[in-house]
């Protein structure tokens, strides 16, 4: 009997919750005022995020830590309506933090989500192995004979993608030959850009084995716009990332990547026009989305990426100030 | 160039999956087993996770290195929760989110709830304050226990239970049309 009553409440509350998702999603974003949180408040927010239902928490991780768009999140987590759930979660956390009509700003949400993810990773790293799996024959066979399927999945789309890559490689190779007289070192350099409806993949190809390549940390950032402060630096084997935040909570991220890392860079280019320009004697690419401006180029043996809440001129000025 | 792209890319991705599987599968199995307490289900969760990783290999291989394992662990936990939902397994550890098996302080309201008209009750819920709605959504739609709700709201468990009871009482009054009483409560 009790179960019946609880089940009914669950059903009705789920309906009510769906209504709330819709209501919050319909709010006029331009009327929302955001509040940046102090370090202590961000830690408090992180504790609250850690206590959220797993679905909500995962949505935050995918959005703020992995930069996934709502469609990707729905696909990976088999959730529905992430696009509407995300503002609801943000609003709920803002209320739980006692902000009343103000909403927690994106920067604070991102930092708090990253703290929780980091803690969760520690749990995983410290996990004691108590048992070993004995996977079914079916799964083992599947793993062995697996045919890696890219995205998009259909054979036609895969072929189309490869043809597009081939054409781009040809174009870029011809362009590289034309540049030879200007800068011999850039002769074989080229970017492969795979364009999809919602994002693009940028891959730097054929970087020469220059003897005078610099270490990532040798590149110096000589200019950032006034008001921006370095808040975080991540150093990996093949990458070095500087995160700046302004007083107005604007973000500026500068990444230096070692091209030998053979990494592909996925960027949001939905509805954006990727513009090719010449910068420091090589091809460079810039585009703007609703939220950020992006600029990627190659200099001194390093793949450089900048993104931030700045216009293209300012981003390029930052890039211009980077040198050995 | 085309031939190189055709031949090299899938091999790289296959290597990537194999390396990831070798590195992570045992820990993943243990995470899932700690939650499900069932060998077969834990193996199933890991298998489903890797099938999903394989299907989305381009996206995952492009993540910065330190993010790849957390990303995969989240997918694993999500798959584990999906198995719980599908098979209605009993959860044996406390840190699995907010599944509460104790019968709590709703006994007084239980019989009453069974007789309610759903649409009318939905209208009554919509009349609650945002704070009250949040609590009952967490409690019933998200199936969180009062201890978790209390931690999230920054109140004691006892206070969360009392608030829950007050909200149900308020709903009852809304439902029966005693609006004035509901406002006073």
| Residues B83, B114 share a domain | no
**Mean pLDDT computed over every residue of chain B:** 78
Q: Is B155 on the interface with A (CB under 8 A)?
A: no
pLDDT digits (tens, 9 = 90+) for A196-254: 666 677 777 766 555 455 688 888 999 999 889 888 887 777 778 898 888 877 889 89
**Subunit contact B131:A95, Cβ cutoff 8 A:** yes
pLDDT digits (tens, 9 = 90+) for B142-163: 989 999 999 999 999 999 999 9
Tell me which H or E stretch contains A18: helix A2-25
The three-point CA angle A200-A266-A43 to 5° equals: 140
pLDDT class for B99, splitting at 50, 70, 90?
very low
pLDDT tens column, A139-157: 776 666 654 443 444 444 5
pLDDT tens by residue, A247-281: 877 889 898 888 776 566 777 777 788 888 888 88
Model-level ipTM above the cut of 0.90: no
User: With contact defined as beta carbons under 8 Å apart, do B114 and B106 qualify?
Assistant: no
Looking at chain B, how many residues does it have? 185
CATH code at position B72: 1.10.1740
Enter the pTM of the model: 0.59
Asked if residue B101 is part of any domain, the answer here is: no
Q: Chain A contacts of B134, Cβ < 8 Å? A: 92, 95-96
According to DSSP, residue A32 is labeled -
- Asked whether residue B96 is domain-assigned, the answer is no
Q: Is B115 within 8 Å of chain A by CB? A: no
Distance between the two ends of chain B, CA-based, in angstroms?
Answer: 75
Q: Provide the residue range defining the domain that includes B38.
A: 9-87
CATH assignment of A189-323?
3.30.200.100
Which tokens go with A2?
């009790």
Query: Which residue in the set B2, B27, B137 is minimally distant from A13, CB to CB?
Result: B137
- Asked if pLDDT for residue B17 goes beyond 70, the answer is yes
B120 falls within a domain: yes
Q: What does the pLDDT read at residue A149?
A: 40
pLDDT, greater one: A84 or A8: A84
Q: In chain B, pLDDT over 90 holds for what percent of residues?
A: 35
> For the segment A27-38, what is each residue's pLDDT rounded down to a tens digit?
887 888 999 999
Instruction: Measure Cα distances from B59 to A161, B35, B55 in Å.
Output: 15, 28, 9
Higher pLDDT: A13 or B180? It is A13
Whether B14 and B67 share a structural domain? yes
**How do residues A276-317 score in pLDDT, each as one tens digit?**
888 888 888 898 887 789 999 988 888 899 999 888 888 999
- Cβ–Cβ gap B27/A201 under 8 Å: no
CATH number of the domain to which B170 belongs: 1.10.10.10
Query: Which token pair is B16?
Result: 């990537």
Could you tell me if B114 and B180 lie in one domain?
yes
Q: Average pLDDT in the B90-108 region?
A: 45
Point out the residue among A143, A166, A236 whose CB comes nearest to the CB of B21. Answer: A143
pLDDT in tens, A94-104: 999 999 889 99
B97 belongs to a structural domain: no
- A28: Cβ contacts below 8 Å, ≥ 6 apart: none
B76 & B115 share domain: no
| Count of domains forming chain B | 2
* Main-chain phi, psi angles of A221, to 5 degrees: -95, 110
Residue-by-residue DSSP string for A137-192: HHHHHHHHS-----SS-SHHHHHHHHHHHHHHHHHHHHHHHHHTTT-GGGTT-EEE
Q: Judge contact between A253 and A241, C-beta under 8 A.
A: yes
Check whether residue B56 and residue B113 sit in a common domain: no
Return residues 81-110 of B near A (CB < 8 Å). 81-82, 97-98, 103, 106-107, 109-110
In chain A, what are the domain boundaries? 8-125, 189-323
Q: CB distance A135–B21 less than 8 Å? A: no
Nearest to A51 among B58, B77, B151 (CB): B151
Total CB pairs under 8 A between chain A and B: 201
Q: Is pLDDT at A43 greater than 50 in this prediction? A: yes
Nearest to residue A108, comparing CAs of A122, A94, A120, A95? A94
pLDDT of residue A246: 87
């Amino acid at each position: 009997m009790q179960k019946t009553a609880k089940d009914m409440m669950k059903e009705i509350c789920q309906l009510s919750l769906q209504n709330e998702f819709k209501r919050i999603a319909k709010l006029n974003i331009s009327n929302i005022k955001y509040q940046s949180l102090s370090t202590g408040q961000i830690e408090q927010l992180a504790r609250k995020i850690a206590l959220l239902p797993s679905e909500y928490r995962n949505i935050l991780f995918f959005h703020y830590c992995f930069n996934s768009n709502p469609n990707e999140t729905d696909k990976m987590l088999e959730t529905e309506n992430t696009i509407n759930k995300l503002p609801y979660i943000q609003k709920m956390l803002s209320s739980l933090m006692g902000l009343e009509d103000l909403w927690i700003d994106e920067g604070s949400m991102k930092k708090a989500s990253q703290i929780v993810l980091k803690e969760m990773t520690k749990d995983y790293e410290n996990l004691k192995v108590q048992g070993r799996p004995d996977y079914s024959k079916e799964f083992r066979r599947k793993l062995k004979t697996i045919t890696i399927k890219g995205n998009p999945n259909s054979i036609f789309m895969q072929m189309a993608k490869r043809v597009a890559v081939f054409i781009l490689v040809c174009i870029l190779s011809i362009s590289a030959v034309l540049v030879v007289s200007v800068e011999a070192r850039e002769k074989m350099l080229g970017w492969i850009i795979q364009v999809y409806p919602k994002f693009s993949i940028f891959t730097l190809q054929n970087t020469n084995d220059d003897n005078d390549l610099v270490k990532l940390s040798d590149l110096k950032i000589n200019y950032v716009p006034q008001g921006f402060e370095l808040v975080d630096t991540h150093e990996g084997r093949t990458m070095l990332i500087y995160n700046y935040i302004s007083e107005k909570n604007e973000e500026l991220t500068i990444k230096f990547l070692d091209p030998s890392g053979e990494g592909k860079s996925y960027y949001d280019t939905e509805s954006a026009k990727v513009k090719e320009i010449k910068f420091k004697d090589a091809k460079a690419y810039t585009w703007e989305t609703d939220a950020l401006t992006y600029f990627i180029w190659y200099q001194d043996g390093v793949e450089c990426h900048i993104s931030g809440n700045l216009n293209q001129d300012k981003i390029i000025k930052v890039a211009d100030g980077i040198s050995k | 160039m085309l031939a190189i792209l055709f031949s090299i890319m899938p091999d790289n991705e296959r290597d990537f999956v194999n390396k990831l599987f070798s590195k992570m599968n045992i820990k993943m199995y243990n995470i899932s087993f700690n939650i499900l307490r069932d060998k077969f289900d834990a193996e199933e969760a890991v298998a489903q996770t890797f099938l999903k990783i394989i299907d989305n290999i381009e996206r995952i291989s492009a993540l910065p290195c330190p993010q790849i394992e957390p990303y995969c662990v989240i997918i694993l936990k999500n798959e584990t929760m999906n198995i719980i939902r599908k098979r209605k397994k009993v959860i044996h550890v406390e840190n699995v989110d907010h599944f509460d098996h104790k019968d709590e302080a709703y006994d007084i309201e239980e019989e009453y709830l069974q007789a309610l008209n759903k649409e009318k009750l939905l209208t009554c819920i919509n009349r609650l304050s945002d704070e009250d709605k949040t609590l009952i959504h967490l409690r019933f739609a998200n199936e969180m226990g009062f201890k978790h709700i209390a931690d999230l709201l920054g109140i004691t468990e006892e206070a969360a239970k009392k608030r829950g009871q007050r909200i149900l009482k308020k709903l009852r009054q809304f439902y029966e049309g005693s609006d004035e009483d509901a406002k006073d409560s």
